Amino acid sequence: MFKNIKDRIMNKKRNENINENITENITEHEAWELNQSLDKNKALLQTILDNDDMVTFRDFETKGKASLKCFIVCVNGMVNNEMINENIIQPVTNASLDEISKQTKITDAFINKIIVSNSITKTSDVNQLVCSVLYGDTILLIENETEALIIDTKGWGMRGISEPLAERVVRGPREGFTESVMPNLALIRKRISNPDLKFQFKEIGVRTKTKTCLCYINGLVNPKILQELMERLDDINIDGITDSGMIEELIKDAPLSPFATIGNTERPDVVVSKLLEGRIALVCDGTPFVLTLPYLFIEYFQANEDYYNNYIYGSINRLLKGFGFFLSTSVPAVYVALITFHQEMIPTPLILSVFAARQGIPFPTVVEAVIMLIAFEILREGGIRLPGPIGSAIGFVGALIIGQAAVEAKFVSAPMIIIVALTGISNFLVPKMFGPLLVMRLLFLISASFLGLFGYLFGVIGLFIHLMSIRSFGLPYMLHTGDLKMQDIKDTTIRAPWWTMKNRPKLLANEDSNRQFTGNLGKKER
Amino acid sequence: MKKLFLKMIVLILIAANVFMVSGCWNYREIDEMEIILGAAIDYDEKSNKVILTAEYVKRSGGGEGEVGPEVVKTEGENVFDAVRNLVIKTGRKALWSHTKVLIISEDVARRKEQLISIMDWVQRLTETRDDIWILLSKEKTAGEILEMGIEAQKMVSMDLTDLLKNEGSISKFHAVPIWQFIDRIAADGISPTIPTVHKTLTEYKTMSEIFGTGVFNKTKLVGWLNGAETMSYLWVIGKLKGGILVLQGNDSNETGKMSLEIQKNRTKRKVNYSEGEITMQLDIKTTVRIAEIGGEVNYMDESATEKLENDAAELIQKRVDDVITKVQQAYHSDIFGFAGVVERELPDEWEKIKRDWDQVFTDLKTDINVEVEIRESALKSKPIKVGE
């Protein structure tokens, strides 16, 4: 029988009509209804869940003269055993159905009088039953009934809420998302006590049926963006999703660009502030990374801590990050351009020390720069994956070998070490931008090595043309609208004081743009 | 707001261009070139050849960040020939964009064709900057100024540059960048000057010194001014920025010398014309402060201050008058630019006298009014009182 499902899926896949939802088609089929006979039903389920030793079948009977045979199916390890014992088996085996009138349906009697659970549904759909069992629910089948009960007994082990390692803050909430979707949604919901906060579930992945959840605030969100997102999610036809990054790549704008047009975060407070700006969050089961969209270029530079600290400090940090972006992309390219093309632009004392340091170096400056940049990336990549103590050893080895020995052995010149170190450190000012920075840095370096500062400038122009042409869910990526208003500067180059930021970003929240005083938190009328 | 934004964008774009179009673009590694810091040009009359002495950065090969000077001498038919002959000796092409000083010898300075050919080469070569300082060697050759750096292992060109930048505090020379020198050659009615560089032998080592001025009549060296005369020259052209004025105290019971530090100077030049005769009027207004007193007189008294101011004014007047007379009588070269003042204020008269300006300049009468103001006396208001 299960092989049938498999065959159906495979046939559907070969079908050209990929937009149709496969799972719906399977559930609509009439052959997958429960039977009157308990034994037949059991045989059916046992066939479907064949060769799966995690699945447990348990038979029992009710008390009294007219005792009913029942059995439950659950998956060991995914269920809360205590809950099944105390809230299902114990009440059922103790219950007597003698007093129940003939008019009442047996299943309703079970739901209303016997089983202790806050979430019970009844269905005759075998497919749904199987899916529920596999996701940690327990199903209860009763003799002579064509409907079975699905009881929520999910209780698998999960990681506790802890501070996200990749997005640490000095000041700000220390909660981070975990790998389970429900607690993650709770973290968001408890921060916004408003009925306009909406959650919509969606299953992605034909095989994995990964639960994803769209979150948005009704009245703030742009309905067109929401509609567009729904359509893109519906277009996904993949057998499995293991991380939100896969969804991101499947639905993002400018798929070939290294720049992200969908953001991700592990922090509930970041998600909440994005929701309040009219953005949409996409929570995916099995990963702590929540997607936020639309995502604009400026969001690379907006850290949550900027908004919690004093605005002057926050603004300085914002400017520093912009400067770090410039340094990280341009320093090697500008250095190579100046040293090999425009020697007259360097102050004489500086060129004398570079001249002295470059004596006896076997490689041209460009090759030296590329080698060192690659060495830095190797060290970085190697250090990330290694466990803590070994990771720091890598740092030592890298610093000693590359930093000192290479200079002493005249493999590279000392100024190049400074350049690469500066590049690498300013990399960490915009930590979400590693990939794009790496690509841009090498492109700028190569173009600068061909044409000097002209080449570098061509690279910069190319980058700007690219950035200006990207859109994220219909919004211009660089927020370029043709005219500059004070409103646009307030949360971009600087972080204005909170009392001056009375409006939401204009392009996003066109339903209700007032953030302070006049706004009615989500009500459509002003 | 929008207009302002556009303007800003245009401004930024223009500013960005300045950075981008500032040099040639061909790939050269700096360690494949010799960085020339200074050049000295001599002329050998016997062989009719130009001798170029270039100071460049030594290759230590150590990579320890130590740099020293190295000097090479080449000969050529003319300047560029000698420059290209550098390659034969050093093995690498020269990088001229960091050259700081150009020293010429007296032999060169006295020959028009040599001087013109050097200036033409400097302006024509793309690498050399127009703000190279030009110096005139008071020694036998210009090359020996640069050569003395080898023994002491220091870069003479860098030292000379540092010294030239301190003109404002010493005022015994007037630093001239090469573009200004060439401008003066080309302009009507003004002659160029070049500061002179000397070599001094002390007990321990040889040192370079800059003081005094070489006076040109257009392209020909005609004479010299010493350090004090150069200071007076700066007074006349109004370029004096600082310096010390030493006075002999002439109070009845005063014997010591005292120095006044010049803080600000303003020289106004105008032309008085009456009955066909031109008089150059110089109004000099100098602000000084008492920097050193070699006696016990308290010059902060009002009367004493006034007397001191008058004495100083008299001294300045005399010194300025002396230098003008010297240049007029001995050199007949208008290095002060008086012609420009006449041209500006009496354009009609200038047309008449233009042709024989050299003669008019020699006979030009000057009327010098000096006003000195003592503004302060630094940290002390009274002189040191010697106890009984």
Instruction: Show residues of chain B in contact with A451, CB under 8 Å.
Output: 25
CB contact under 8 A, B65 and A357: yes
Can you give the pLDDT at residue A526? 40
Q: Is residue B205 part of a domain?
A: yes
Instruction: Show residues of chain A in contact with B99, CB under 8 Å.
Output: none
Question: The tokens 């949550």 sit on which residue?
Answer: A304
- Is pLDDT of A154 > 60? yes
| A88 vs A149: CA distance, rounded Å | 11
Instruction: Show residues of chain A in contact with B97, CB under 8 Å.
Output: 343-344
Quick one: B286 and B210 in the same domain?
Answer: no
Q: Is residue B6 part of a domain?
A: no
Taking residues A112-141, report their average pLDDT: 87
CB contact under 8 A, A353 and B19: no
Mark out chain B residues that contact chain A at CB-CB < 8 A. 1-2, 5, 16, 19-20, 22-31, 33, 35, 37, 57, 59-67, 95, 97-98, 100, 127, 129, 158
Segment holding B234, helix H or strand E: helix B227-237
A229 phi and psi angles, rounded to 5 deg? -65, -45
Can you give the pLDDT at residue A514? 74
End-of-domain residue from the set B174, B206, B225: B225
Instruction: Show residues of chain A in contact with B61, CB under 8 Å.
Output: 359-360
- Is pLDDT of A187 > 60? yes
- The pairs formed by A84-88 with CB atoms below 8 angstroms and a separation of 24 or more are A84/A138, A84/A153, A86/A116, A87/A115, A87/A116, A87/A117, A87/A151, A88/A115, A88/A116, A88/A117, A88/A138, A88/A140, A88/A151, A88/A153
Among chain B residues, the shortest Cα distance to A367 is held by: B29
Quick one: B118 and B158 in the same domain?
Answer: yes
Quick one: B323 and B366 in the same domain?
Answer: yes
Instruction: Show residues of chain A in contact with B127, CB under 8 Å.
Output: 344
| Beta carbons of A294 and A228 less than 8 angstroms apart | no
| A184 vs A137: CA distance, rounded Å | 20
Quick one: B197 and B274 in the same domain?
Answer: no
Which of the residues A330, A334, A341, A344 would you substitute to probe the B interface, choosing the one with the greatest number of B C-beta atoms within 10 Å? A344
Quick one: B238 and B299 in the same domain?
Answer: yes
Alpha helix positions (H), A210-267: 223-235, 244-251
Q: How confident is the model at residue A135 (pLDDT cuts 50, 70, 90)?
A: confident
Taking residues A2-6, report their average pLDDT: 52
CB contact under 8 A, B62 and A359: yes
pLDDT tens figures, B31-78 = 888 999 999 999 998 999 999 999 998 876 554 556 788 899 999 998
Strand order in the sheet with B244-248: B244-248, B257-274, B277-293, B365-376
Q: How far is A399 from chain B (nearest CA, A)?
A: 19
Q: Choose among A449, A453, A483: nearest Cβ to B19.
A: A453
Using alpha carbons, list the distances in angstroms from residue B181 to A249, A467, B133, B219, B222: 67, 51, 10, 10, 15
Q: How many CB pairs under 8 A join A and B?
A: 101
Q: Is residue B214 part of a domain?
A: yes
Contacts of B50 (CB under 8 A, 6+ apart): B41, B42, B43, B44, B75, B76, B77, B78, B79, B81, B82, B114
Mark out chain A residues that contact chain B at CB-CB < 8 A. 339-345, 348, 351-361, 364-365, 407, 410, 413-414, 449, 451-454, 457, 483-486
Residue A449: CB atoms within 10 A of its CB come to: 23
Can you give the pLDDT at residue A369? 92
Can you give the pLDDT at residue A519? 43
Q: How confident is the prediction for chain B on average, in pLDDT?
A: 87
Q: How far is A448 from chain B (nearest CA, A)?
A: 10
Can you give the pLDDT at residue A19? 43
Can you give the pLDDT at residue A484? 66
| A323 vs A316: CA distance, rounded Å | 10
Q: How confident is the model at residue B23 (pLDDT cuts 50, 70, 90)?
A: low
Can you give the pLDDT at residue A41? 86
Question: The tokens 């703000």 sit on which residue?
Answer: B131
End-of-domain residue from the set B225, B250, B282: B225
Quick one: B129 and B151 in the same domain?
Answer: yes
Residue, of B24 and A206, whose pLDDT is higher: A206
Among chain A residues, the shortest Cα distance to B19 is held by: A453
Instruction: Show residues of chain B in contact with A355, CB under 8 Å.
Output: 30-31, 35, 57, 67
Hey, what are B198's tokens? Answer: 């000397």
Quick one: B249 and B179 in the same domain?
Answer: no
Which domain range does residue B360 map to?
Answer: 233-376
Q: How far is B211 from chain A (nearest CA, A)?
A: 25
Q: Is residue B263 part of a domain?
A: yes
In 3D space, the residue among A323, A261, A335 whose CA is nearest the CA of residue A292 turns out to be: A261
Domain count, chain B: 2
Quick one: B138 and B119 in the same domain?
Answer: yes
Q: How far is A420 from chain B (nearest CA, A)?
A: 19
Q: How confident is the model at residue B106 (pLDDT cuts 50, 70, 90)?
A: very high
Instruction: Show residues of chain B in contact with A453, CB under 8 Å.
Output: 19-20, 23, 25
| B252 vs B243: CA distance, rounded Å | 27
Q: Is residue B144 part of a domain?
A: yes
Taking residues A424-437, report their average pLDDT: 88
Among chain A residues, the shortest Cα distance to B34 is held by: A355
Characterize the bridge pairing of strands B244-248 and B257-274.
antiparallel
| Beta carbons of A180 and A161 less than 8 angstroms apart | no
CB contact under 8 A, A343 and B66: no
Taking residues B294-310, report their average pLDDT: 81
pLDDT tens figures, A451-509 = 888 889 989 999 998 999 999 998 888 877 666 677 767 788 888 888 887 777 777 76
Q: How confident is the model at residue A18 (pLDDT cuts 50, 70, 90)?
A: very low
CB contact under 8 A, B35 and A355: yes
Quick one: B133 and B265 in the same domain?
Answer: no
| B149 vs B155: CA distance, rounded Å | 6
Quick one: B204 and B292 in the same domain?
Answer: no
Q: How far is A457 from chain B (nearest CA, A)?
A: 8
| Beta carbons of B191 and B334 less than 8 angstroms apart | yes
One-letter amino acid identity for A169? V
Instruction: Show residues of chain B in contact with A348, CB under 8 Å.
Output: 37, 98, 100, 158
Residue, of A162 and B378, whose pLDDT is higher: A162
Q: Is residue B388 part of a domain?
A: no
Q: Is residue B9 part of a domain?
A: no
End-of-domain residue from the set B225, B250, B265: B225
Least confidently predicted of A145-159, A311-325, B12-26: B12-26
Q: How confident is the model at residue B18 (pLDDT cuts 50, 70, 90)?
A: low
Q: Which CATH number belongs to the domain containing residue B332 in this structure?
A: 3.30.300.210
pLDDT tens figures, A272-325 = 999 988 899 999 998 999 999 889 898 899 888 889 999 999 999 999 999 999
Q: How far is A158 from chain B (nearest CA, A)?
A: 54
| B154 vs B72: CA distance, rounded Å | 15
Quick one: B214 and B71 in the same domain?
Answer: yes
Can you give the pLDDT at residue B250? 63
Q: Is residue B18 part of a domain?
A: no
Q: What angle do CA A255, A257, A259 make, to 5 degrees?
A: 110
pLDDT tens figures, B168-201 = 898 999 999 999 999 999 988 889 999 999 998 8
Can you give the pLDDT at residue B194? 94
Quick one: B73 and B189 in the same domain?
Answer: yes
Least confidently predicted of A160-174, A295-309, B24-38, B199-213: B24-38
CB contact under 8 A, A359 and B57: no
Q: How confident is the model at residue A17 (pLDDT cuts 50, 70, 90)?
A: very low
Q: How far is A310 from chain B (nearest CA, A)?
A: 28
Q: Kindly provide the ipTM of the predicted complex, given to two decimals.
A: 0.81
Among chain B residues, the shortest Cα distance to A486 is held by: B1
In 3D space, the residue among B234, B213, B232, B233 whose CA is nearest the CA of residue B224 turns out to be: B213
Q: How confident is the prediction for chain A on average, in pLDDT?
A: 84
CB contact under 8 A, A355 and B25: no
Can you give the pLDDT at residue A1? 44
